[in-house]
Amino acid sequence: MPHFGLMSTADSYNTEQGALLRARLHIRGGKRRLRQGKISAGIVTLYDALSFAMRWYISSPERREKLLIRNGESLNDDKTVFEILKRSGLKDPAFDFMELDQLADRALEDEMAGYDYSAVLNSVTSFMTLLGVMPFDESRLPPEDPSAF
């Protein structure tokens, strides 16, 4: 996913702050795409935001030591990380990770014009708030280029 010079892709994979910035940029971008009617792109962007929000959460030594991580579990797999978070007490009844995962797979294959995304957006927002990624002051993010996809 292009970042239009707003962040370092390498930092998003290698640093706690980079993962948080990517999550927040993609929350903002995903919501904008949904508002613009680019439903599939918005859903995929929100999934990426969630992926990096979870990466941010587990990258903190203070937060990680409280997680119930089993031997052999891959912290590079979103489904596994979500299960670890859930097992460790970060549960949100409004959020269904598998539903979002399947929806993102569908969005990668089809343009979902007319899809009512409001419930998905609300559940993602709720889980991002539980993780501590939201709310945030969008004015503190690098400004978006309106011509960007």
Tell me whether residue 75 is in a domain.
yes
Residue 11 in contact with residue 18, Cβ under 8 Å?
yes
pLDDT reported for residue 7:
52
Tell me whether residue 115 is in a domain.
yes
Tell me whether residue 144 is in a domain.
no
Greater pLDDT, 23 or 3: 23
pLDDT in tens, 86-117: 999 998 988 999 999 999 999 999 989 889 99
pLDDT reported for residue 2:
45
Range of the domain at 66: 11-133
From residue 9, give the alpha-carbon distance in Å to each of 20, 48, 52, 111, 112: 12, 12, 11, 26, 27
